[in-house]
């Protein structure tokens, strides 16, 4: 019986091909929107997570501001200045001699003016200790990294990301031993870093200019540390280390105005943000499914009236109210599911095009497909019920008389 | 006894006015009988047919069909499916379905398997002389052929009663003759047929005529 119901529904829909297609257009667009948006967000999430996990599982990052109190990133302005770190914080952590911590590292960040001849760039500049390269696993391509002697003495040497070197000099190998000006002070290029996929949020790591931390303090007049990185002995100790560092910093600063981020907490933060985004987008797209559902109901009501005679004939031949109800409900559901699959096909196509020809990642998850089909089937059920009930309730005598 | 009614009445209320469409009808149809129901328009023919066909129930009185008492308490759809074969004046075939599928329809509602349905429907269409038109749609068939399909459909579940409502009304005289011959053949094979008509020539070919006037049987 089930097969017959589906076959009969399909043949009824086939009898009015154009109308069926137009009717289900709302569902097609709705499912297309839901799947495409959700896939885009999920692709983005995967991308960002991959980058964070690229940092390695044994690095703790201490940022100013307390995430739980809504102050992540310092919030900018005076608040940010007050909350950022100083050398005293680095010293406090170092002197606490936490056994799980292998290295303590800090960095100054600024956007500095880089000049070479006529060329001038405003670029993200990091003042750091040589150990930072180890923490982030940066590989040298040409030349060498600066050493701790150059760091402690505030040497005027610099290491460039490959992308930045290529921008200034055309190609990375021409940059070595040249002098560039950072905020008007000359620095000698001693090394070029190999390309990496890692990102600091919006900053492309390949475009970063690195100078020794002391030099940043001395020549760029940076006094506040923007981030402290701790390299641990093993990634097993992450939570113990996190607790201990929090205790030390809280005591030395007198308040809890910082956040120790583990790779896990960073990914869960991303999950939270992306989850909210997904819900919001899916909600908006669901409205188009709703509109599609109303379209289905409208056309099904017209169809029931048009086919009054057919309903009368079927009832005379022995169709029960339930038979008629099932028949029209099946048509609505089949129509919606077909629309769902068409929408799915469209978004698969879009996803393919995005992944093939652009940098925008898109990732359709099996759960999304199931959700979309289940959703369009329920739209059919919900909006098909009223027309199907109307059909089932028709009086056979009057229906037979209908012309 | 295939049909037995006692004091069968149907009363409608139109804008508060009582309309007695059928008044205390007592009639019987024996197995194997071919009866004609005749009368001018408004005499209650259609009302009687609707009651006999279990499309409607009586206001007063009783109706027994093939040993079952027909009233609001039973599932009329199943009774129609099992005990009645309709032949309409305007054929009433489903235009989207081919001849075979139209004949299969009552069997589908009876829950017959697809294979058995097809076999039976093919047999019946062959029996009414259009075995070569199984996969034609109704609009590819002539009026006479359509009515043959309708007769085959009426026979699908072997119902004890065939109700024909002006079966030749929409046909030319030759096709009409052919359809009457088919009905008479079926009757000769033992089928019980009740036919509504206003054509006296057709009425004469039945075993018996029930004449209606103003909702009552007059002879």
Nearest-CA distance from A316 to chain B in Å? 7
Which CATH number characterizes residue B23's domain?
3.40.50.300
A309 to B92: CB separation less than 8 angstroms, yes or no: yes
User: According to the 3-state scheme, what is the secondary structure of chain A?
Assistant: CHHHHHHHHHHHHHCCHHHHHHHHHHHHHHHHHHHHHHHHHHHHHHHHHHHHHCCCCCEEEEEECCHHHCCHHHCCHHHHHHHCECHHHHHHHHHHCCCCEEEEEEEEEEEEEEEECCEEEEEEEEEECCHHHHHCCCCEEEECCCCHHHHHHCCCEEEECHHHHHHHHCCHHHCCCCEEEECCEEEEEEEEECCCCCEECCEEHHHCEEEEHHHHHHHCCCCCECEEEEEECCHHHHHHHHHHHHHHHHHHHCCCCEEEECHHHHHHHHHHHHHHHHHHHHHHHHHHHHHHHHHHHHHHHHHHHHCHHHHHHHHHCCCCHHHHHHHHHHHHHHHHHHHHHHHHHHHHHHHHHHHHHCCCCCCCCHHHHHHHHHHHHHHHHHHHHHHHHHHHCCCHHHHHHCC
Contact (Cβ atoms closer than 8 angstroms) between residue A120 and residue A180 = no
Is the pLDDT at A159 greater than 50, yes or no? yes
**From CA A399, how far away is CA A255, in angstroms rounded?**
80
Q: How many CB atoms lie within 10 A of CB A132?
A: 21
Backbone phi and psi for residue B14, each to the nearest 5 degrees, phi listed first:
-110, 115
Say what the pLDDT of residue A83 is: 63
The residue to which tokens 């058995």 are assigned: B116
Average pLDDT over residues B22-36: 95
- The answer to whether A401 contacts chain B (CB < 8 Å) is no
Residues of B whose CB is below 8 A from A10: none
Which pLDDT band, with edges at 50, 70 and 90, does A77 fall under? very low
A191: β partners:
A143, A159
DSSP annotation of B9: E
Percent of chain A with pLDDT strictly greater than 70: 92
Residue B80: give the domain boundaries: 3-217
Backbone phi and psi for residue B176, each to the nearest 5 degrees, phi listed first:
-60, -45
Nearest-CA distance from A370 to chain B in Å? 32
Query: Helices (H), strands (E): how many in chain B?
Result: 7, 10
DSSP annotation of B189: T
- Average pLDDT along chain B: 94
| CB nearest B50 (choices: A15, A318, A397) | A397
Which pLDDT band, with edges at 50, 70 and 90, does A358 fall under? confident
| CB nearest A316 (choices: B78, B80, B82) | B80
**From CA A15, how far away is CA A335, in angstroms rounded?**
13
- Which of B10, B55, B103, B155 would best serve as a mutation to test chain A binding (most A beta carbons within 10 A)? B55
Residues of A whose CB is below 8 A from B111: 1
Taking the CA of residue B118 as centre, how many other CA atoms within 13 Å lie in the half-sphere pointing to its CB?
3
**From CA A98, how far away is CA A144, in angstroms rounded?**
31
Helix (H, G, I), strand (E, B) or coil at B162: strand
Average pLDDT over residues A284-309: 90
DSSP annotation of B160: S
- The answer to whether A314 contacts chain B (CB < 8 Å) is yes
Please give the full DSSP string across B88-134, using - where no structure is assigned: -TT----TTS-HHHHHHHHHHHHT--HHHHHHHHHHHHHHTT-GGGT
State the first-to-last Cα distance of chain B, in angstroms, to the nearest integer.
20
**From CA B4, how far away is CA A401, in angstroms rounded?**
27
Q: Which residues, 6 or more positions from A256, have their beta carbon under 8 angstroms from its beta carbon?
A: A66, A246, A250
Treating both helix axes as pointing N-terminal to C-terminal, what angle do A321-357 and A17-53 enclose, rounded to 10 degrees?
Answer: 50
Is the pLDDT at A75 greater than 90, yes or no? no
Q: Which residue of A has its CA nearest to B81?
A: A318
Residues of A whose CB is below 8 A from B106: 317-318
Contact (Cβ atoms closer than 8 angstroms) between residue B124 and residue B156 = yes
Q: Which residues, 6 or more positions from A214, have their beta carbon under 8 angstroms from its beta carbon?
A: A127, A151, A152, A153, A154
Residues 319-348, chain A, touching B (beta carbon < 8 A): 319-321, 323
Q: Tell me: the pLDDT tens digits for A328-355?
A: 999 999 999 999 999 999 999 998 888 8
Task: Using DSSP bridges, classify how beta strands A157-160 and A258-261 pair: parallel, antiparallel or unpaired.
Answer: unpaired
Q: A80 or A374, which is more confident?
A: A374
Residue B12: which H helix or E strand, with range?
A: strand B3-14
| CB nearest B109 (choices: A15, A317, A397) | A317
**From CA A7, how far away is CA A20, in angstroms rounded?**
15
Q: Which residue of B has its CA nearest to A14?
A: B96
Say what the pLDDT of residue A76 is: 41
Say what the pLDDT of residue B51 is: 96
B80 to A313: CB separation less than 8 angstroms, yes or no: no
B78 to A321: CB separation less than 8 angstroms, yes or no: no
Which pLDDT band, with edges at 50, 70 and 90, does A88 fall under? confident
**From CA A206, how far away is CA A194, in angstroms rounded?**
8
Helix (H, G, I), strand (E, B) or coil at B200: helix
Q: Which residue of A has its CA nearest to B159?
A: A317
**Nearest residue to A178 (alpha-carbon basis) of A165, A188, A167:** A188
Q: Tally A–B CB contacts below 8 A.
A: 57
Distances from the Cα of A103 to the Cαs of A2, A159, A227, A384, B188, in angstroms? 68, 21, 14, 66, 107
**From CA B29, how far away is CA B193, in angstroms rounded?**
9
Phi and psi based region of residue A148 (left: phi greater than 0; alpha: psi -120 to 50; beta: remaining): alpha
Percent of chain A with pLDDT strictly greater than 90: 24
Q: How many CB atoms lie within 10 A of CB A147?
A: 13
Nearest-CA distance from A320 to chain B in Å? 5
Q: Which residues, 6 or more positions from B195, have their beta carbon under 8 angstroms from its beta carbon?
A: B34, B35, B36, B37, B163, B164, B165, B167, B183, B202, B206
Which pLDDT band, with edges at 50, 70 and 90, does A72 fall under? very low
B56 to A397: CB separation less than 8 angstroms, yes or no: yes
Which pLDDT band, with edges at 50, 70 and 90, does A220 fall under? confident
B105 to A310: CB separation less than 8 angstroms, yes or no: no
Q: Which residues, 6 or more positions from B180, have their beta carbon under 8 angstroms from its beta carbon?
A: B167, B168, B202, B205
Q: Which residue of A has its CA nearest to B101?
A: A8
Residues of A whose CB is below 8 A from B51: none
Q: Tell me: the pLDDT tens digits for B69-94?
A: 999 999 999 999 999 999 999 999 99
Residues 48-67, chain B, touching A (beta carbon < 8 A): 50, 53, 55-56
Give the dihedral sign, CA B176/B178/B179/B181.
Answer: positive
Which pLDDT band, with edges at 50, 70 and 90, does A55 fall under? low
Which pLDDT band, with edges at 50, 70 and 90, does A74 fall under? very low
ipTM of the complex: 0.95
Is the pLDDT at B158 greater than 90, yes or no? yes
For chain A, what are the domain ranges? 2-50+269-401, 58-100+233-261, 108-225
Say what the pLDDT of residue B101 is: 95
Is the pLDDT at A57 greater than 50, yes or no? yes
The residue to which tokens 């308490």 are assigned: B73
Q: Which residue of B has its CA nearest to A13?
A: B96
Please tell me the pTM assigned to this model: 0.70
Backbone phi and psi for residue A131, each to the nearest 5 degrees, phi listed first:
-65, -20
């Amino acid at each position: 019986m089930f097969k017959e119901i589906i076959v009969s529904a399909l043949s009824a829909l086939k009898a009015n091909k154009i109308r069926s297609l137009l009717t289900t257009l709302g569902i097609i667009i709705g499912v297309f929107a839901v799947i495409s948006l959700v896939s885009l967000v999920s692709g983005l999430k995967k991308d960002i997570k991959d980058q964070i996990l690229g940092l390695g599982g044994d690095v703790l990052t201490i940022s100013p501001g307390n995430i739980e109190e809504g102050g992540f990133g310092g919030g900018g302005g005076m608040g940010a200045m007050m909350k950022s770190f100083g050398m005293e914080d680095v010293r406090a952590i170092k002197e606490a001699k936490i056994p799980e911590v292998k290295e303590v590292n800090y960095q100054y960040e600024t956007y500095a003016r880089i000049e070479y001849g006529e060329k001038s760039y405003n670029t993200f500049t990091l003042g750091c200790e040589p150990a930072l390269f180890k923490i982030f696993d940066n590989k040298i391509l040409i030349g060498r990294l600066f050493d701790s002697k150059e760091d402690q003495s505030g040497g005027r040497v610099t290491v460039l990301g490959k992308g930045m070197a290529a921008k200034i000099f055309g190609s990375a190998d021409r940059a070595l031993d040249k002098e560039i000006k950072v905020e008007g002070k000359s620095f000698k290029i001693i090394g070029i870093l190999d390309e990496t996929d890692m990102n600091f949020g919006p900053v492309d790591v390949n475009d970063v200019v690195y100078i020794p931390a002391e030099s940043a303090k001395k020549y760029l007049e940076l006094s506040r540390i923007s981030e402290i990185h701790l390299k641990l002995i093993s990634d097993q100790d992450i939570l113990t280390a996190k607790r201990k560092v929090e205790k030390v910093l809280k005591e030395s600063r007198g308040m809890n105005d910082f956040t120790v981020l583990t790779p896990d907490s960073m990914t869960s933060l991303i999950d939270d943000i992306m989850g909210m985004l997904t819900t919001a987008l899916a909600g908006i797209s669901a409205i188009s499914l709703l509109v599609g559902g109303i379209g289905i109901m409208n056309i099904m009501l017209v169809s029931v009236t048009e086919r009054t005679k057919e309903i009368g004939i079927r009832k005379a031949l022995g169709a029960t109210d339930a038979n008629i109800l099932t028949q029209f409900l099946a048509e609505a559901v089949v129509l919606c599911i077909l629309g769902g699959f068409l929408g799915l096909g469209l978004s698969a196509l879009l996803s393919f095009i995005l992944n093939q020809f652009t940098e925008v990642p898109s990732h359709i998850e099996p759960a999304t497909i199931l959700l979309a089909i289940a959703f369009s089937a329920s739209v059919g059920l919900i909006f098909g019920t009223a027309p199907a009930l109307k059909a089932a309730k028709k009086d056979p005598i009057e229906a037979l008389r209908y012309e | 006894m295939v049909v037995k009614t006692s004091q069968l009445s149907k009363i409608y209320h139109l804008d508060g006015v009582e309309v007695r469409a059928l008044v205390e009808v007592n009639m019987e149809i024996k197995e194997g009988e071919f009866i004609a129901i005749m009368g001018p328009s408004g005499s209650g023919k259609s009302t009687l047919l609707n009651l006999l066909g279990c499309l409607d129930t009586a206001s007063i009185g009783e109706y027994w069909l093939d040993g079952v008492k027909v009233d609001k308490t039973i599932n009329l759809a199943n009774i129609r499916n099992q005990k009645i074969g309709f032949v309409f004046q305007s054929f009433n075939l489903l235009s989207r379905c081919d001849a075979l599928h139209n004949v299969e329809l009552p069997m589908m509602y009876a829950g017959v398997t697809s294979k058995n349905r097809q076999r039976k429907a093919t047999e019946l269409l062959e029996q009414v002389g259009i075995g070569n038109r199984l996969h034609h749609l109704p609009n590819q068939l002539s009026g006479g052929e359509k009515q043959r399909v309708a007769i085959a459909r009426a026979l699908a579940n072997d119902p004890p009663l065939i109700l024909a409502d002006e079966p030749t009304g929409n046909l030319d005289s030759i096709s009409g003759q052919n359809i009457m011959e088919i009905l008479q053949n079926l009757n000769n094979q033992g089928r019980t047929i009740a036919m509504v008509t206003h054509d006296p020539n057709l009425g004469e070919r039945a075993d018996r005529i029930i004449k209606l006037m103003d909702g009552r049987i007059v002879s």
